[in-house]
Structure 1
């Protein structure tokens, strides 16, 4: 589905919506003496974009095609390059919790000196580095060069068997049956081709291998034991605000229910365990600061001028709804793991 809007004289916004992945892509066409098309969308969308341009001008008249940048989110996944330097600060684990999770994983899978770990979306190595520091072989891929740079910096001067490379989750550059344990932590909600990424993990996992899956709750759609009402209302209000400016939250990947359903259909045995619990301290003011600083991916797709207005709307609503920026949104956090067996 495509919509065309003349947002300024001779400047057109082309909004291309793909219902298969619930994602909207934006292109701009500048109609002048040398017409310019700003962004083209994914390769599979070229015919749609071509037809949209044809409704404005003859596509053969285009003289310039421009890209402000090129990242993996234009390829169907989402790169965290832009927040790599603050990722651990804003999404890191509290002191002691990382070691607690590491202990839990080690006790769960009972690795030997020959055990090989693998992780899709290894990022800054929140999970990988503590395991690798204990001497185990660990391999991972990530689409973000800057996240990987943060990981490698943590390993400077440390003896380890960790290999982390830039790679595509949907085309892992390793042979079949290469690893004993595979992990994904807060990844599949960011990957549009998540079924292919899941199939790749199954391919490289040895027969009888264990897959540890953790989804995360950033895309919560209802209040539950992991999401309190205040935090839920805040995110829902943000989504309503950006939708009112015609910039709804893009859909990227899967829900937790979709991934677990796929695993069950493939005959896997699933067991949910809690590796760690801790109290996450948060106020309305702190959460508003995170949004203002574009810490979360649901702020990244909005132009600066629209974003400034949207943030002001959010602050006005927050003060009215909560009464104070000091309103407490703290809650108990859990690191939940779905242990997948009899799958590889």
Structure 2
């Protein structure tokens, strides 16, 4: 199954296995609105909108939001968060790397942890440039994995390597900065939010048992069961107890490209 389509399988558990919360999303929405000097008519597009974690606060505030995602299940989860689909929200089931819009359609384009999933990222960046209005903003954001969770994940990666498992293809280096600077955009960087994330070892183990993350997706179930068993035994020795809490800071980073 492709990397993209696997999101259909994890849509039902996506939100609870990530580390964004509603309160953090609200804080980030405030940051974005101030950053782009939003007015009531400001329009937003998020390719790879998923379950709406990033843009739901904007929808609730009445801003025009369009979201595209290749996973119908993820879009359905977004819809379920609303009693009814408001007129200011449009959700499209399609390949987010191909934007079915006319030139100069949006004031703000937001991507979050998704550029690496696009097969032809150069074409995708051209598409973002095309659909942005003059004086528009492209915001390329990512959630930084909390260090304690990243350390936990790296222990699993080491065990995967013992089984000679290649969990995912290596992420290609994407030079977004050079492209948008060549198009005359001004660039900047900011941390929109920092917050503490806490999970028990047992809880994190349960997320990986459910194959909630990309490094697990290409591993066969037969091999994965052996890997998880070994990983659980490792965790008991490493952390002393599966009830131990792992806490550290997460960040929401934004690279800002402003059209001149």
* Same structural fold, with TM-score higher than 0.5 when normalized by the shorter chain: yes
Quote how far apart the aligned CAs of 1:264 are: 4.7
| 1:36 match | none
1:290 to 193, 196, 207: 207
Q: CA 1:240–1:260 in structure 2 vs 1: closer, same or farther (change >3 Å)?
A: farther
| Aligned 8 A contact 1:188 1:254 in 2 | no
Stretches of structure 1 lacking an aligned partner (at least 5 in a row) = 1-70, 219-226
Quote how far apart the aligned CAs of 1:211 are: 0.8
2:228 to 303, 311, 314: 311
1:169 equivalent in alignment to 2:96 = yes
Identify the structure with the greater helix proportion.
Answer: 2
SS at match of 1:330: strand
1:278 to 190, 195, 216: 195
SS at match of 2:158: helix
2:82 to 155, 161, 168: 155
SS at match of 1:243: helix
Q: What number of residue pairs does the alignment pair up?
A: 260
Listed as ranges, the matches of 1:141-152 within 5 Å are: 141-152=68-79
| Aligned 8 A contact 1:191 1:253 in 2 | no
| 2:155 match | 237
| In 1, Cα distance between equivalents of 2:110 and 2:33 | 13
1:99 equivalent in alignment to 2:26 = yes
Quote how far apart the aligned CAs of 1:138 are: 1.1
1:337 to 246, 254, 257: 254
Q: CA 1:129–1:234 in structure 2 vs 1: closer, same or farther (change >3 Å)?
A: closer
Quote how far apart the aligned CAs of 1:139 are: 1.0
| Aligned 8 A contact 2:144 2:253 in 1 | no
What are the superposed Cα offsets for residues 261-285 of structure 1, whole Å, 9 maximum, x if unpaired? 5545655432222222221012322
SS at match of 1:331: strand
Q: CA 1:157–1:342 in structure 2 vs 1: closer, same or farther (change >3 Å)?
A: closer
SS at match of 2:191: strand
What are the superposed Cα offsets for residues 19-41 of structure 1, whole Å, 9 maximum, x if unpaired? xxxxxxxxxxxxxxxxxxxxxxx
> Is the radius of gyration larger for structure 1 or structure 2?
1
| In 1, Cα distance between equivalents of 2:117 and 2:82 | 26
1:86 equivalent in alignment to 2:4 = no
| Aligned 8 A contact 2:19 2:197 in 1 | no
Listed as ranges, the matches of 1:183-202 within 5 Å are: 183-202=110-129
What are the superposed Cα offsets for residues 288-324 of structure 1, whole Å, 9 maximum, x if unpaired? 2211121112111111110000111212222233333
| Aligned 8 A contact 1:102 1:130 in 2 | yes
Q: CA 1:126–1:248 in structure 2 vs 1: closer, same or farther (change >3 Å)?
A: same
1:301 equivalent in alignment to 2:228 = no
Provide the alpha-carbon RMSD of the alignment. 2.4
1:250 equivalent in alignment to 2:168 = yes
- The TM-score, its normalising length taken from structure 2, stands at 0.88
| Aligned 8 A contact 2:167 2:214 in 1 | no
| 1:66 match | none
Quote how far apart the aligned CAs of 1:162 are: 0.7
1:321 equivalent in alignment to 2:248 = no
